[in-house]
Amino acid sequence: MFLTFLTFLPLVGAILLTLLPRDEEGAIKQTALAFAVADFILSIFLWTNFDSTTHEMQFEYSVPWISSWGISYHVGLDGISLLLYIMTTFLTMISIIASWGITKNIREYMMAFLALSTGMLGVFISLDMFLFYFFWEFQLVPMYIIIGVWGGPRRVYAAVKFFLYTAVGSLLMLVAIIWIYITIEQQTGVATTDIIFITENLELPLAPQKWLFLAFFIAFAIKVPMFPFHTWLPDAHVEAPTAGSVILAGVLLKMGTYGFLRFNLPLFPHASYEFMPMIAWLSIIGIVYGALVSLVQEDLKKLVAYSSVSHLGFVMIGIFALNHYGIQGALIQNINHGISTGALFLLVGMIYDRRHTREIKEFGGLAKVMPKYTICFMIIALSSIGLPGMNGFVGEFLILLGVFQNNGLWAACATSGVIFAACYILWMFQRVMFQKLDNPKNENLPDMNTRELITVVPLILLVFWIGLYPKPFLKTFDASVEHLLVKVSPDNFRPGNPGSSHSTHAKLIKIEDMARLNQQQNGIKPYFKE
């Protein structure tokens, strides 16, 4: 029940904001921040009470929802979803602090952000396919509103493009969920959308696995976004307000990579191996393409946006290395990208607030007038490159190690992205900070204030924590990654294996699985695993 409380706490805050007068701007901001801070602090208790030695779902809670269809409100966390959940609460808090200067429709803005937080948190805890789909669609609405109302000059175009891309993928995913629902009932006699039960008992030959894999793949690849589904991202980032870009990069993109780990790999292991080369090469293209396009950008925000395409390419190729190093690297790189890229968007937003331009050519010599800003920017830029001692190095090293164990050529091609990243990041940094201060508009720019430091310094501390001592994070993933690798082991689908899709023997439902499903559908007292 504690997990449900944390998930819906921001939504409660959004509802309470409707009771405050529109002109009470200070009270609105403080109330929104109070709910965001409380949600983050309480979410830390999930990590401190998490048992990292088991792959089992924890903080689990289940009650019947639509019993006639076998749909339940079933939530829980494992090592794969826990840190993504905490990062969501953390970045929501940071984003609200960063939004303190918003002057247009403040109440509605804060309501949208808090509602968005609940939608994102719900995605990471859902253990029912229908519930997952509900939260997946729910978070789309407030993000659309944030971009469309508080975005830049082309905000409507960007919001509609974001909505349409995501909606198309979602429809394909819905078709796949319905197909799985019908199939699991035919195979087991149990009508359910429970993810754990389906993962343990669904048995599919290769052909339907491929089709279902592709349906989920398109939905998640658009969200990541992978090449060639990436075109909505630069538009959305450029037009979104600063805090919107932070959440978009830090959390929303991770929902796509999380979907691959929660659905594609465990449900369709054979198809995952079959499509591994395709996804690896698409990831490599994304890594190189995103980096090369970043090199020629003149808009700071667009440069950071295209860098996300490159960085998420690393995450995807790490996932589909299908080994321990690759998946662990992908998981921690998810966190790293949220920290580093989120901080870059915050820093870009700060100078935009001062100059109302993001054109690189408009700047130069900022190191002389904004020393604190320059130091913060330098640290985050180096972390994004993957400098040893910083967070990016840990993730990229593990990913490349995992990919190299699988295919040396893939690893060599992916490594080029690291070199290109150093080129576009350092070139941008040099032009903005150290070129001649020849624009009079830059001569008297104020340095970072206390509020701005509060948003960036915690992210810098995380950069060094993960870079110097990643063990607590990697330990959290360990058991869940090992369990996932057992699920996707080729031994499970080799011809002749009793548990393979080629077997003529019917797969027996585990007694405990059936008992749990009966419990849910009969409305018996909910159970907890804490």
- Quote the crossing angle between the two packed helices 450-468 and 391-406, to the nearest 10°: 40
CB 476 within 8 A of CB 83: yes
Q: Using alpha carbons, select from 190, 195, 163 the residue that is nearest to residue 73.
A: 195
Residue-level pLDDT at 510: 45
Please list the ranges in the chain whose pLDDT falls under 70: 492-530
Helices and strands (H, E) in the chain, number of each type:
24, 3
Closest CA relative to residue 234, chosen from 141, 303, 166? 303
State pLDDT tens for residues 402-442: 999 888 899 999 998 889 989 999 999 998 888 887 888 88
| Matching residue, tokens 């180096």 | 382
Quote the longest CA-to-CA distance of the chain: 78
Backbone angle region of 365, left / alpha / beta, with phi > 0 → left and psi within -120 to 50 → alpha: left
- Mapping DSSP onto H, E and C, the string for 137-191 reads HHCHHHHHHHHHHHCCCCHHHHHHHHHHHHHHHHHHHHHHHHHHHHHHHHHHCCC
Q: Is the pTM of this model over 0.75?
A: yes
Which runs of consecutive H residues, i.e. helices, occur in 2-66?
Answer: 2-17, 25-48
How far apart, in Å, are the Cα atoms of 9 and each of 58, 99, 227, 254? 19, 20, 36, 22
The token pair that represents 342 in the structure block = 């989120």
The C-alpha angle 383, 346, 14, rounded to 5 degrees, equals 125
Reduced to 3 states, what is the DSSP secondary structure of residue 463?
helix
pLDDT at position 25, please?
A: 83
DSSP secondary structure letter of residue 251: I
Identify whether 225 is preceded by a cis peptide bond (ω within 30 of 0). yes
Q: Is residue 336 within 8 Å of 391, Cβ to Cβ?
A: yes
Alpha carbon distance 498, 176 (integer Å)? 26
DSSP 8-state class, residue 128: B
Single-letter residue type at 325: Y
Q: Considering the chain, what percentage of its residues have pLDDT values greater than 70? A: 92
Residue 67 has what pLDDT? 84
